[in-house]
Structure 1
């Protein structure tokens, strides 16, 4: 009898143990359990892939239970691949990008506030952590502060008598740019034309930076009020149209790809390129070295960082923000321990040594530890560093950081479906600025409720 009772108790315990390991009663993962954290990133700068490999190897030595699987995406195709994964509910654990309300709106962006320690918070320089927050919640950690500008060829500017040093420190208006553009337009010895400015026909950064320099922070302002529906957007579109009509930009701008834009600048066919970040200084320094060594053929260029010109009746504004890693969970949630592991990887990829990205890109550091580690090791020229600092005085941060996630998602959709095709129509002279502004207003009412 006693043996039968004992046998029954053993069977019951075995059944309870089996039930505890299945279904809704899944045991919580232990910090020592093996786990994999997936990271999707981009070739942030020339040596970033090597930096990333070293950081990942060092992290895994310190955390042998966590495998970090990285994939370096192309700038051209990466965003599409990520959007597909996100829409399917299976984004990577970490993705390199600026924090975006549309990502938060999916419900899959991971709120990092429970994992943020005081040591991490105090290491970030004032105002930088907020650049990865939506609605006051932390969804990522910045790696650097980005800064959008234009770039010039010093030789061409000086030959035309353009005081680029004064422009760097004092800025310039649309009228002053047009005056300079007239001097920069000429026919080259081979019969080709030298344009004052070249931009590509596929990106929105060109109209975004110009509209910000005409008192419009974005399609919407921080309160969600529609901006691109009055005389300011008509003025901005007419300024662009004027550049095309006067031959200050190529007539075929609509068909110019980003790579072609760069090729024209390198070939001396354009005095100024938009958009140029301070990192162009380092890129062109490296290109000049390759020309000296015979690896690359072409003319060496002395790079000049230039602010975006502003409307004569509007203040100068410099587009800035932050890029880094955003953390995500998946539709099939992998649990709290996986979230903690993801944050550990995120923090490691954003640490003091990760400040090399800011150093390489000639951009402001986001952490005190980064600034200390790379003090005195700046790669950019003194001219570029000073110009960047001067432009940073007129910083304007992305409005998406202040918008609710649903509104931010609608604004992104508006840009993709309305702004992009209309900008193409402007470049191709298929629509007037006034007609485009009217469509912005009507579509803004339909899509944004504004």
Structure 2
């Protein structure tokens, strides 16, 4: 069905397919039928023709939809002949609405999506290939590691808006009391042994040295986020072999077993809503998952405590928040788990040569400079393009800690994008293994009902049955 949709749209839009070569291909075609002077005049008239570009976005930040209206006005001032029409959605209905519109051939010109959904729109022929449609200098504005997430088969199909990094957060004062040089850890990372010494020292009668949400589906968060400590950056390695069967997984599970058996980490399920609260109440020194933007949440709670207005977390204490990298085991290069959301341009019934070029203007406008910087500042993230970082440099960071800002900026550069070439079948099988085998076994490991070795052996058994020995990394 997807191939049929792609074929139908391609047949109906032959002109727009040729358009992705840019303005130069349009000029060459025009010169075969007219004089150079007439061609130039025609292009000038086309570039000034009125056009409307539709943009569909969810509330990326609390006031993102309001800001989009402002940016649409700014875009119209910059390009008086172009109008940006904003379609606001909720997080709940955004993906469904976009999928339905795209399959009907009436996708918005631009929409915000998570990178994991990108391949679907490339496969059905609705995502525009920016490698052919967009000015190379504009593409060069973006960091390569961020562009890699929006790349399919060596072609770029979207502009990254931000990389959401997920690692660890902590009570900075408790860390320092436990003997940790917080500034050094934020600047250059730390080893697993140093981390273990810290959480040992930070564990008290009513305080865990380390807490990570591990209840239900959040168990997979631990494997994705803390897994980088053992060198597990993705479910598949660069050879497209399933990597949770490697000895890296055994090393990770052995570490979990050590932390729970020692009492440094809870041996029971911790809900996602509990992890930061336990830090705010002084019952956890380090917690995960954590993001840079959690600093805003903790600062808000600190302000509520000071104001004594009754809105602070019950039994909470003032916390000086520190964003931290995940430690690394022997022989592992420091990385950080991240995921990318970005803006993608779509092919629809309006996709003429001139319209696509107008869409490219709007796409770059929304994904770069002050617009991208505003999103980054709101989410406490560093920019993923040079123009956004330049705009961020002049923005007020409020009362954020500079060490947290610098650590987040450093960690974004260490994110490893998933390898290209993973098939839909591999993705589906990996998810099934995670949901039906790894998560239940991981929760049993936390509770002391199985061992790291037994869990690892079961993963290898189940995964080789699915992917075959040749499809698994068994080193």
TM-score using structure 1 length: 0.77
User: Given the alignment, which residue of 383, 386, 390 partners 1:372?
Assistant: 390
Distance, in Å, in 2 between the alignment partners of 1:65 and 1:324 is: 21
The answer as to whether partners of 2:245 and 2:460 remain within 8 angstroms in 1 is yes
The answer as to whether partners of 1:414 and 1:444 remain within 8 angstroms in 2 is yes
Following superposition, the deviation at residue 150 of structure 1 comes to 0.7
The answer as to whether partners of 1:282 and 1:361 remain within 8 angstroms in 2 is no
Aligned runs of 1:86-165 on 2, under 5 Å?
86=99, 89=103, 94-100=111-117, 102-104=119-121, 106-107=123-124, 110-113=127-130, 114-125=132-143, 127-165=145-183
Q: What SS does structure 2 have at the residue aligned with 1:172? A: coil
Q: What SS does structure 1 have at the residue aligned with 2:341? A: strand
Deviations 1:52-84 (A, max 9, x none): 3432454467566553211131xxx56xx7369
Distance 1:48 1:28, change over 3 A: same
Aligned runs of 1:253-292 on 2, under 5 Å?
253=269, 256-292=270-306
Following superposition, the deviation at residue 214 of structure 1 comes to 1.4
Distance 1:99 1:411, change over 3 A: same
The answer as to whether partners of 1:60 and 1:68 remain within 8 angstroms in 2 is no
The answer as to whether partners of 2:57 and 2:65 remain within 8 angstroms in 1 is no
User: Given the alignment, which residue of 337, 351, 376 partners 1:336?
Assistant: 351
Q: What SS does structure 2 have at the residue aligned with 1:399? A: coil
The answer as to whether partners of 2:280 and 2:319 remain within 8 angstroms in 1 is yes
Following superposition, the deviation at residue 141 of structure 1 comes to 0.8
User: Given the alignment, which residue of 214, 217, 229 partners 2:230?
Assistant: 214
User: Given the alignment, which residue of 52, 56, 59 partners 1:39?
Assistant: 56
The answer as to whether partners of 1:99 and 1:140 remain within 8 angstroms in 2 is no
Question: Which residue of 2 is the match for residue 424 of structure 1?
Answer: 443
Aligned runs of 1:315-334 on 2, under 5 Å?
315-320=333-338, 322-328=340-346, 334=349
Question: Which residue of 2 is the match for residue 246 of structure 1?
Answer: 262
The Cα RMSD (Å) is 3.6
Distance 1:101 1:43, change over 3 A: closer
Distance, in Å, in 2 between the alignment partners of 1:121 and 1:349 is: 13
Question: Which residue of 2 is the match for residue 398 of structure 1?
Answer: 417
Question: Which residue of 2 is the match for residue 437 of structure 1?
Answer: 456
Following superposition, the deviation at residue 116 of structure 1 comes to 1.0
The answer as to whether partners of 2:382 and 2:412 remain within 8 angstroms in 1 is no
Distance, in Å, in 2 between the alignment partners of 1:446 and 1:104 is: 31
Distance 1:378 1:244, change over 3 A: farther
Distance 1:107 1:252, change over 3 A: same
Question: Which residue of 1 is the match for residue 198 of structure 2?
Answer: 180
Distance, in Å, in 1 between the alignment partners of 2:76 and 2:88 is: 13
Distance, in Å, in 2 between the alignment partners of 1:348 and 1:413 is: 39
Distance 1:84 1:55, change over 3 A: closer
Deviations 1:98-129 (A, max 9, x none): 35565357525503324312342233345543
- What is the count of residue pairs matched by the alignment? 410
User: Given the alignment, which residue of 226, 229, 248 partners 2:242?
Assistant: 226
The answer as to whether partners of 1:102 and 1:409 remain within 8 angstroms in 2 is no
Distance 1:127 1:182, change over 3 A: closer
Distance, in Å, in 2 between the alignment partners of 1:292 and 1:263 is: 17
Q: What SS does structure 2 have at the residue aligned with 1:305? A: strand
1:55 aligns with 2:71: yes
User: Given the alignment, which residue of 209, 213, 227 partners 1:196?
Assistant: 209
Deviations 1:1-26 (A, max 9, x none): xxxxxxxxxxxxxxxxxxxxxxx989
Distance 1:378 1:200, change over 3 A: same
Following superposition, the deviation at residue 142 of structure 1 comes to 0.8
The answer as to whether partners of 1:101 and 1:401 remain within 8 angstroms in 2 is no
Deviations 1:116-172 (A, max 9, x none): 123422333455433421221112111123333211101222333333223223422
Distance 1:34 1:294, change over 3 A: farther
The answer as to whether partners of 1:214 and 1:310 remain within 8 angstroms in 2 is yes
TM-score using structure 2 length: 0.73
Runs of 5+ consecutive residues of structure 1 not aligned to the other structure: 1-23, 188-192
